[in-house]
A and B are shown apart, each in its own frame.
Chain A
Amino acid sequence: MAGKPPARPRANRFGAGASDRGIGDVLSEILPAWRVKSIVRSLLLYAVAYGLTIVFALPFLWAVSSSLKPVNELFLWPPQLIPKTWRFENYIEIWHLAPLARFFVNTVYVTVMSVTGRILSAALVAYGFARFRFPYRNFLFLLLLSTLMLPYQVTIIPTFLLFKAFGWLDTYNPLIIPNWFGGGAFAIFLFRQFFLTIPKDLDEAAKIDGANSLWIFIRIIVPLSKPVIITMIVIGFLESWNDFFGPLIYLNTPEKYTLSLGLANFQRVVSAGGQATEHLLMAASMVMTLPSILVFILLQRYYIQGVVISSGSK
């Protein structure tokens, strides 16, 4: 994380045009003009690039800082980035004030079940599209891709009514089961693109040895597909973990809430007797955010690969 002090003065110095010229004049006496230009240019680049990290990081820093303050320090003016009294108890209290642990377990359950279903079914479907010739294959694949542009809200009402008819309201089924039917156009597309890069010779050789297509899939394709599987784990995790619309529509009982729904209702869940709860709210927000950030940081290589493949710009 870039420290605040070094970036600030740089940004200021180059924010003003006059001082640029001052440095330029001094430098041009000792160095050729193009060197001066490139030095000024790269200083400016560093100032902007590192200065921007403050913009992106500030909401996090402010949230963490607020989450470690006692309630009376929330209202200090001017606002203090460093708490005067560090109150780590906030991070313990939130687990008692709201059934946060419950929400956490619920979210993990929904996420694991959804991501597993997505990966299994998307890989199988993609295998079908990548390795077998059948009538209307290209048409069906185009149809599949076109669903990428279909906003899910278009079908949400009949889908809701369908799940209601199944008796699935206030259960996790609506959040999990659809993922087991193909896992979405994006996942299928990603797997298919990857499978197409696996040489067909490998399949052929196994076929000659008498292997059937499922064996080839499990023993040859899947072991070679670890990168794309990890990519989908990251993408699927982030989507399920962060999902709000699904839980909002389908879950009613507070004990069944996922983190996003529980957090949205935090104010209602926590009775603070009219006191401000921002420090607790910030703590709970950071607790929900941390897994997403960790998963991304640890596996970003795979995530980025997947996003880049999906755009076709490689």
Chain B
Amino acid sequence: MIAPIKQRLGLSTPLTLSQREALQGFIYISPWIIGFLVFTVGPMIASAYLSLTDYNIVTPPRFAGLSNYEYMFGDRLFWKSIENTLYYTVIFVPIAIAGSLALAMLLNQEIAGRVALRTLYFLPSVTPVVAAAFLWLWIFQPQIGLLNSIISALGLGNGPLWLGHPGSSKPALIIISLWGALGGNTMLIFLASLQGIPKELYESADIDGAGSWGKFRFITVPSISPVILFNTVLGVIGALQMFTLAYVASSGRQQQFSPGGPLNSTLFYVLHLYNSAFDFWEMGYASALAWVFFVIVLAITGFQLWTSRRWVYYEGED
């Protein structure tokens, strides 16, 4: 058993140059390989198995077949969390992408103080999410908060209860997320790609008498379409993983609500997963939730990549 392996690895004979190179390469990447096996592959297999068991941490896992998955389909909170997560993603991502692109186009103009503006726009996105949540909870405070004070000063009556009411809690979270996202990485990436569009394209469009919308539609968008796809895919994956902001906003302040409140209106998928695992210690069920989440993310990402062939143009293709 050992001998042929040794021979294949060339250990019994002096190593050839390319074998030495390969061996060294494997040694250098070995930290990642070990990490990948221990922290990714292993846990994925383990969570697939755990999802088929009843496991509350105290007693050993008990095989339970597909019952966790069956339970999931009848779990009202599971469907509620899917609904909340899709609501958030479908509203947040398009606004974030369009808004970041608009900001990038603004900064791509010749404005004095562009670098300072870019820094200022960016600062919300380096603000720790927990701190951002508290900054905004204070602004959204229904009675004496800044926002509702402005609303009533403008004569628009009493503002909404924001995070205190299921009808306005998700819009409030979307506003906070947008504040942190619009001037962030997405904008930087758009800005870099806008700067990479050859000026001649716009000049020849000017000669043809194209208007600004025409130039945007037929030059800017196709030129940066790979980056739009990149930002959208990452934006959607990020939005589906919404957790910290909702957790802190719904539980951090005065513990009026359990995380995900009020009335489960901010119970996002990962929050439901977290509650199941670390509040109720249903590790089997939470593993099933994790696997279903994986499949959902994979399916949505795959769908975006598949449909992208219709609208994304890569250089060198026609």
Contact between chains at B109 and A153 (CB < 8 Å): no
Contact between chains at B131 and A285 (CB < 8 Å): yes
Size bracket, chain A contacts? 35 or more
> Does A124 sit at the interface, judged by CB under 8 A?
yes
Size bracket, chain B contacts? 35 or more
- B189 smallest CB distance to A (angstroms): 4
> Which residues of chain B in 25-47 are interfacial with respect to chain A, using CB atoms and an 8 Å cutoff?
25-29, 31-36, 38-40, 42-44, 46-47
Quick one: CB contact mask for B248-272 with A, threshold 8 Å, 1 for yes?
1000111100000000000000100
Contact between chains at B135 and A56 (CB < 8 Å): no
Contact between chains at A313 and B189 (CB < 8 Å): yes
Q: Which of A10-18, A58-66, A84-92 contacts B (4 or more CB under 8 A)?
A: A58-66
Nearest neighbor of A281 in chain B, beta-carbon distance: B134
Contact between chains at A278 and B138 (CB < 8 Å): yes
Nearest neighbor of A140 in chain B, beta-carbon distance: B29
Contact between chains at B294 and A151 (CB < 8 Å): yes
Contact between chains at B131 and A263 (CB < 8 Å): yes
> Does A125 sit at the interface, judged by CB under 8 A?
yes
Contact between chains at A264 and B248 (CB < 8 Å): yes
Nearest neighbor of B248 in chain A, beta-carbon distance: A264
> Does A206 sit at the interface, judged by CB under 8 A?
no
- B17 smallest CB distance to A (angstroms): 10
Given contacts A128-B29, A157-B50, A182-B35, contact A307 B189 (CB under 8 A): yes
Q: Which of B198-206, B214-222, B235-243 contacts A (4 or more CB under 8 A)?
A: B235-243
Contact between chains at B138 and A181 (CB < 8 Å): no
Given contacts A53-B121, A188-B32, A307-B188, contact A155 B227 (CB under 8 A): no
Cα(A255)–Cα(B244), bound, Å: 21
Contacts of B44 in A (CB 8 A): 154-155, 158
Contact between chains at A129 and B29 (CB < 8 Å): yes
> Does A33 sit at the interface, judged by CB under 8 A?
no
Contacts of B22 in A (CB 8 A): 132-135
> Does A144 sit at the interface, judged by CB under 8 A?
yes
Contact of A132 among B28, B47, B111, B122 (CB under 8 A): B28
Contact between chains at A125 and B248 (CB < 8 Å): no
- A272 smallest CB distance to B (angstroms): 11
Contact between chains at A288 and B290 (CB < 8 Å): no
Q: Looking at B29, B119, B122, B301, which has the most chain A CB atoms within 10 Å of its CB?
A: B29
- A55 smallest CB distance to B (angstroms): 8
Nearest neighbor of A152 in chain B, beta-carbon distance: B241
> Does A267 sit at the interface, judged by CB under 8 A?
yes
- B236 smallest CB distance to A (angstroms): 10
- A137 smallest CB distance to B (angstroms): 7
Contacts of A49 in B (CB 8 A): 106-107, 109, 111, 117
Contact between chains at B27 and A151 (CB < 8 Å): no
> Does A52 sit at the interface, judged by CB under 8 A?
yes
> Which residues of chain B in 125-169 are interfacial with respect to chain A, using CB atoms and an 8 Å cutoff?
126-132, 134-136, 138-139, 141, 144, 146, 149, 153
Nearest neighbor of B297 in chain A, beta-carbon distance: A151
Contact of A244 among B123, B244, B254, B283 (CB under 8 A): B244
Contacts of A74 in B (CB 8 A): 144
Contact between chains at B28 and A124 (CB < 8 Å): yes
> Does A304 sit at the interface, judged by CB under 8 A?
yes
Cα(A181)–Cα(B33), bound, Å: 8
Cα(A265)–Cα(B60), bound, Å: 32
Contact between chains at A155 and B39 (CB < 8 Å): yes
> Does B291 sit at the interface, judged by CB under 8 A?
yes
Given contacts A49-B111, A57-B120, contact A75 B138 (CB under 8 A): no
Cα(A214)–Cα(B59), bound, Å: 48
Contact between chains at B241 and A128 (CB < 8 Å): no
Contact between chains at B39 and A63 (CB < 8 Å): no
> Does B308 sit at the interface, judged by CB under 8 A?
no
> Which residues of chain B in 300-315 are interfacial with respect to chain A, using CB atoms and an 8 Å cutoff?
301
Contact of B117 among A53, A62, A75, A156 (CB under 8 A): A53
> Does A78 sit at the interface, judged by CB under 8 A?
yes
Contacts of B46 in A (CB 8 A): 158, 161-162
> Does A82 sit at the interface, judged by CB under 8 A?
no
22 A-B pairs in the complex with CB atoms less than 8 angstroms apart: A48-B106, A62-B135, A62-B146, A79-B149, A127-B28, A132-B25, A144-B36, A151-B237, A151-B294, A151-B297, A153-B273, A155-B290, A157-B43, A157-B287, A162-B46, A244-B130, A245-B243, A278-B138, A281-B134, A282-B138, A288-B130, A300-B119
**9 closest residue pairs by CB, A with B:** A181-B35, A128-B28, A132-B25, A182-B32, A158-B43, A158-B46, A155-B43, A134-B22, A134-B25
A residues whose Cβ falls under 8 Å from a Cβ of B: 1-2, 45-46, 48-50, 52-53, 55-57, 59-60, 62-63, 66, 74-75, 77-79, 121, 124-125, 127-129, 131-135, 137, 140, 143-144, 147, 149-151, 153-162, 178, 180-182, 188, 213, 238, 241-242, 244-245, 248-249, 259-260, 263-268, 278, 281-282, 285-286, 288-289, 292-293, 295-297, 300, 304, 307-308, 311-314
Given A134-B26, A162-B38, A292-B127, output 18 extra A-B contacts at Cβ < 8 Å. A2-B120, A45-B109, A49-B109, A53-B120, A56-B124, A77-B149, A128-B27, A147-B36, A150-B40, A151-B297, A158-B287, A159-B43, A263-B130, A264-B130, A282-B135, A296-B122, A307-B185, A311-B192
